[in-house]
């Protein structure tokens, strides 16, 4: 079964209440996918405090709070749960105009690797996925922002994204979902602390 629960992942009390509603509605849970994310674009010298804080509040703090709450629950209930955090190609490589976003996504990998080592004794696995240029509303906004900041047409920017992807197309959400499903499944039972690239070859390290 499934239920919809609204929560603010940057707020500890909201996460606590949201997790409690999940348990009340489903009885228990075994998996967590920390997928909430935000972005904005700016030259590094122009990044505002609000832009920086928003990226870290949602992208980094949101992962921290949801992961921590899930791990506390898994340990308490003796559940060998699995966590998958949505990182990014920007977790492994810096990009112009995205310094604050990249910094928040790099933080996810440090957290994921550290948490996985602490949780291993409980049989809890923690991994991350690193998507590339995914065709979403967020990407549409980023294309417009980058086009404006660089004085280019949006079509040119979009073509550059595709050009940076050896498989020759924008990534689709389902491309990411398949890897997430694998990491949550028993087929990946001996994988933890990994940051799995799923970006069409745009980044291979």
Active site members: 101
* Rounded Cα gap, residues 196 and 129, in angstroms: 5
HSE of 161, CA atoms in CB hemisphere, 13 A = 23
Radius of gyration of the chain from Cα atoms?
18
- In angstroms, the CA 111 to CA 152 distance is 36
And the tokens for 78? 């003796």
SS3 sequence of 19-61 = HHHHHHHHCCCCEEEECCCCCCCCCHHHCCHHHHHHHHHHHHH
């Amino acid at each position: 079964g499934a239920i919809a629960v609204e929560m603010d992942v940057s707020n500890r009390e909201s996460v606590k209440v949201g997790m409690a509603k999940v348990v009340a509605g489903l009885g228990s849970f075994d998996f967590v996918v920390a997928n909430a994310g935000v972005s904005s674009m700016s030259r590094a010298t122009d990044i505002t405090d609000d832009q920086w804080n928003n990226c870290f509040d949602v992208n980094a703090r949101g992962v921290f709070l949801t992961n921590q709450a899930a791990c506390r629950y898994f340990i308490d209930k003796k559940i060998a749960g699995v966590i998958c955090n949505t990182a990014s190609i920007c977790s492994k490589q810096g990009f112009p105009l995205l310094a604050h976003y990249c910094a928040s996504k790099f933080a996810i990998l440090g957290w994921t690797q550290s948490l996985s080592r602490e949780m291993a004794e409980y049989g809890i696995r923690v991994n991350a996925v690193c998507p590339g240029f995914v065709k979403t509303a967020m990407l549409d906004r980023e294309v417009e922002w980058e086009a404006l900041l660089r004085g280019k047409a949006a079509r040119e920017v979009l073509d550059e994204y595709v050009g940076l992807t050896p498989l020759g197309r924008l990534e689709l959400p389902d491309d990411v979902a398949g890897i997430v499903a694998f990491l949550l499944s028993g087929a990946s039972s001996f994988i933890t602390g990994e940051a799995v690239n799923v970006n069409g070859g745009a980044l291979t390290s």
